[in-house]
């Protein structure tokens, strides 16, 4: 059983009252995965949001190079990180595959139950969506910073045909 104190430590629920945390807990399931297990499959339909409790996960996307398809790792996430946010926000297909790296424990916040809760309790919805927005803003800033370093190092790969 998920404990309120355990849930309260995550950024996504910062600012929620004790009673509000009780409501969010009703949307959560604790899941465990072994090394290499898929947690999310790219293109699957599922709007759940995940919090990585323990372990690490690899976020991968399918890439096509000519006729060859392969999976390319785009991120490694650690304990405390949130994932599955794109399909949660869009209520659409998964945009990436997420695989367990070693033993992993996640909190799965059921998308349908959470959206229902947000409609029923706007304060919970506002705070959690704001917190999710802050998580995404931080990721974008980190990505922009890394891209800037790549450009400054001259390691950016640019197609000259795009700059005619």
**In which residue are the tokens 């399909």 written?**
87
Identify whether the C-beta of residue 83 lies closer than 8 Å to the C-beta of residue 57: yes
The structural domains of the chain, with segments of one domain joined by +, span 4-152
**CATH (one of 2.102.10.10, 3.40.50.1820, 2.60.120.10, 3.90.470.20) for 4-152:** 2.60.120.10
Other beta carbons less than 10 A from residue 28's beta carbon: 21
Residue with the larger pLDDT of the pair 63 and 33: 33
Cα(105)–Cα(65) distance, integer angstroms: 34
Other beta carbons less than 10 A from residue 66's beta carbon: 5
Residue with the larger pLDDT of the pair 152 and 15: 15
pLDDT digits (tens, 9 = 90+) for 84-135: 998 898 877 888 899 999 999 999 999 999 999 999 999 999 999 999 999 9
**In which residue are the tokens 């990180």 written?**
81
Say if residue 36's pLDDT is above 60.
yes
Tokens of 93: 């297909």
Q: Is the dihedral of CA 56, 135, 44, 120 positive or negative?
A: positive
Q: Which residue, 108, 102, 62, 61, is CA-closest to 82?
A: 108
**Ramachandran category for residue 43: left, alpha or beta (phi over 0 → left; psi -120 to 50 → alpha):** left
Other beta carbons less than 10 A from residue 77's beta carbon: 18
């Amino acid at each position: 059983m998920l404990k309120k104190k355990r849930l309260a430590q995550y950024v996504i629920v910062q600012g929620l009252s004790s009673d509000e945390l009780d409501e969010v807990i009703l949307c959560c399931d604790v899941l465990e995965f072994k090394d290499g297990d898929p947690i999310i499959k790219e293109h699957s339909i599922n709007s759940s949001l995940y919090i990585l409790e323990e372990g690490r996960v690899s976020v991968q996307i399918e890439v096509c190079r000519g006729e060859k398809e392969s999976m390319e790792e785009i991120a490694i996430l650690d304990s405390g990180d949130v994932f599955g946010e794109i399909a949660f926000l869009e209520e659409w297909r998964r945009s990436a595959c997420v695989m367990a790296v070693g033993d992993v424990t996640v909190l799965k916040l059921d998308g349908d139950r959470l959206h229902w809760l947000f409609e029923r309790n706007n304060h919970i919805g506002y705070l959690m969506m704001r917190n999710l927005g802050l998580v995404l803003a931080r990721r974008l800033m980190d990505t922009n910073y890394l891209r800037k370093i790549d450009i400054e190092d001259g390691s950016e790969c640019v197609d000259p045909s795009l700059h005619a």
